[in-house]
Amino acid sequence: MLIDKVYSAVSQLVNKDQVSGYLPPDEFNKYAEFGQREYIEENYNPPTGRGYESTFENTDDLSDIKSATSIIVTAGRATIPTDYLHWSSCWANGTFDGEGWTTPVEMVRDNEWPERMASRVNKPSRKFPILKQMSTYFEVFPQDINNINLTYLKLPLEPWWNYTLSGSTPVFATSSGVTTNPNPTASADKSTDFTVGDGAFPELVWKIARYFGVETKELETWQMAQAEQNS
């Protein structure tokens, strides 16, 4: 599992000056969650401005948390999925004058909503519907749209490195671990892998190691060694 691979790499960095020792699993699990969320946010909306789906690599990096669902719209409201994290795309479909139709639904900002509603040229219609995000629902217009198909990035599972004990040393365990996995969809004794794919390995090690106070210079040295090993 990727999580054990990351744990081993971070452990080497954190304990590199020790004759023996281990990375505290409870601290690793806490920082693993932080690192994964940081990785997702940076790939979705990075400081460079080239974010989600700007490149094939970026698309691949976040494909493991992409989800799609059909949502019934009632009186112009569509309930946001409980695991919703970020927007990807939305389409509406239905039947009008005996013919089926499918059209993209545009997400607009709050200040754009009244402008579009008052527009004589660009007013929302069945062919050009809009929506805006509220706290627990999307407001959709026109209100006679009764269904939308939403593609979105979902909240990732919390990565969890579970373990058994060999003497006093933690040993990775995919199941039968001694700690309680916090994810409600996972068995309590199991480990939960990172939701992002293997391509995130170097970045996850980098980010998590920083939380443990490993200096940037040491991380750069490790990354160069990894690159030479994989070349």
Please state the domain extents for the chain: 59-154
Q: How far apart are CA 74 and CA 77, in angstroms?
A: 5
The secondary structure of residue 159, as a DSSP letter, is P
For 17-26, 70-79, 191-200, which range has the lowest pLDDT when averaged over its residues? 17-26
Summarize the confidence of residues 161-172 as an average pLDDT: 94
The dihedral region occupied by 159, where left means phi > 0, alpha psi between -120 and 50, and beta the remainder, is beta
Q: What is the pLDDT of residues 64-106, one digit of tens each?
A: 899 999 999 999 999 999 999 999 999 998 766 677 778 999 9
The strand pair at 169-172 and 84-96 is best described as unpaired
pLDDT for the residue 19: 43
H or E segment and range at residue 164: strand 163-166
- pTM, whole model, 2 decimals? 0.81
pLDDT computed for residue 228 by the predictor: 45
